[in-house]
Amino acid sequence: MPMDESVRKAVLAAVPSLRAFAISLCGNVDRADDLVQETLLRALANIESFQPGTNMSAWLFTILRNHFRSEYRKRRREVEDGEGRYAETLKSQPEQPGRVEFREFREALAQLPPDQREALILVGASGFSYEEAAHICGCAVGTIKSRVNRARTRLAELLSINSADEFGPDDQTRAVLAGGERP
């Protein structure tokens, strides 16, 4: 049976957010796009295991996250310092237009443990509920809550914010945030 039109639309609609999640996991756009590609191939090959009426994004995020984890673990065996490697990947990336204003924030994010980083992104940026994030990560809701809290606290420390007045010395960031939604 050809893929149902509504299913195809749901997959397409999930791609932008899936990419943003992948980039936040990998810290590298090219690797992230490969990860998205592999995720889509897996998902489409197993599309019959998707239950209609359930959340397509959550389903795709789960596949991507599991695939990334198994790859990551493999690489971790090769390179003991996984954290350092992530930060290095980020630093070695050529500067891209539109990236510079988030540099400080990205670098802080890169220093979080992977569990905390993914929990924070899922809940704080992808817009999943704690329950959905727990399902995607295969852990308890309380674990997600705790990871998100730790991630926020650590980020605030890394960015040296104790109050909103002190938020970042970066005027560009302020300008972007003050400007609201980007086109």
Partner 1 sequence: MNERSKPPAQQAQMVESAATRTKKPNNKPAKLTREVQARLGQQLRAMYEQVVNQGVPERFAELINRIDAKEDKDRQP
Binding site for partner 1 (CB under 8 A): 1-3, 8, 11-12, 15-17, 19-20, 23-24, 33, 36-37, 40-41, 44, 98, 102, 105-106, 109, 120-121, 124-126, 149-150, 152-157, 159, 161-165, 167, 173, 176-177, 181-183
The set of long-range contacts for 116-119, using a CB threshold of 8 Å and a minimum separation of 24, is 116/147, 116/148, 116/150, 116/151, 116/154, 117/24, 117/25, 117/151, 118/24, 118/25, 118/65, 119/144, 119/147, 119/148, 119/151
Phi-psi region of 180 (alpha: psi -120 to 50; beta: other; left: phi over 0): left
Amino acid, single-letter form, for residue 93: Q
Give least dist CB 19 to partner 1, A. 6
Give least dist CB 164 to partner 1, A. 4
How far the first Cα of the chain sits from its last, in Å, is 39
| 78/169 with CB nearer partner 1 | 169
| 20/87 with CB nearer partner 1 | 20
Give least dist CB 79 to partner 1, A. 22
Say if CB 118 and CB 18 are below 8 A apart: no
| 62/126 with CB nearer partner 1 | 126
| 139/158 with CB nearer partner 1 | 158
Q: What gap in Å lies between CA 137 and CA 12, rounded to an integer?
A: 22
Give least dist CB 78 to partner 1, A. 26
Give least dist CB 38 to partner 1, A. 11
| 77/105 with CB nearer partner 1 | 105
Q: What gap in Å lies between CA 47 and CA 34, rounded to an integer?
A: 19
Phi-psi region of 27 (alpha: psi -120 to 50; beta: other; left: phi over 0): left
